[in-house]
Amino acid sequence: MDYIHNRMKNYDIKFQEIYNELFDHIVTAIEERRAAGDTSSIERMYEEVVNTQFRGFYGVANEIEELAKSHENAYKSKVRKMIWANYRYYLNYKTLLFTMVLILLSFELPHNKSTSLVLVIAIFAAALFSTVFAYVELRSIKPSRGKTSLVYAHTLILANFPLVLLNCALWLPQLPYELMDKDPGFKLVNIPLPVLALVLALILIYNLSCVRLCRQELEQFVNISSNTL
């Protein structure tokens, strides 16, 4: 096992889960050869396995790294579909009713800067929640030294989405005015309260989706420490 780990250090595989999958694939192939009566050294069997199963036009190293990249892209696509499937799951009559009530209440609130400021703070606090929750919830995933967890990295990216979207919505419209050295005259506190209430509700629903995604991934998660292999 140590020999295989040492050889696989030559490949640029940064995510622990993908590394484990490829490692397990190679070990299984070697064990099958042993079971079939192959008495070759581990060094020779390793070379034969990787040359047979991973050597392509670009050579073994590039083939393994390309395979690792394709696995990463497949996982990214999977979790994106999961988060939006979760969002659709939570877009039910309960959350729609909550959104309507929140918007109706916003009409009853005093339309001043203090009220707007409270809602703006609530929006950014809600946007931050998914990031903090994912960070705390996924801390149990502990990859080996030098590796990163695929689950942790890409789930955290999705958890950051509300904050990134809010920053883009806040600063991008003002960019042309900044380049022209003009005052855009735009302030968050000037946004109508019903609009702020709607944004808050949508972010809260996204938070529910993110919480569900984190728990779904942890349920499927198997200890990814290479020490258990």
pLDDT range class, residue 58, cuts 50, 70, 90: very low
pLDDT for the residue 184? 60
Residue 106: other Cβ atoms inside 10 A: 19
**Cβ neighbours around 126 below 10 Å, total:** 21
Residues 47-67, mean pLDDT to the nearest whole number: 72
3-class DSSP state of 184 = coil
Q: Give the per-residue pLDDT at 66.
A: 84
> Does residue 142 or residue 88 have the better pLDDT?
88
Give CA–CA dist 107/121, Å, rounded. 18
Q: What is the pTM of this model?
A: 0.80
Give mean pLDDT, residues 22-45: 88
Contact in structure between 213 and 80 (CB atoms under 8 Å): no
| CA nearest neighbour of 47 among 65, 66, 61, 35 | 61
- Tell me the percentage of the chain whose pLDDT exceeds 90: 42
Q: How confident is the model at residue 12 (pLDDT cuts 50, 70, 90)?
A: confident
pLDDT tens per residue across span 112-147: 888 988 998 999 999 999 999 999 998 888 887 778
Residue 133 pLDDT: 95
**Nearest residue to 217 via CA among 205, 206, 225, 209:** 209
Q: Which long-range contacts (CB under 8 A, 24 or more apart) does 99-108 make?
A: 99/198, 99/201, 99/202, 99/205, 102/197, 102/198, 102/200, 102/201, 103/194, 103/197, 103/198, 103/201, 105/197, 106/193, 106/194, 106/196, 106/197, 107/193, 107/194
pLDDT of residue 198: 95
**Helices vs. strands in the chain: H and E counts, helices first:** 10, 0
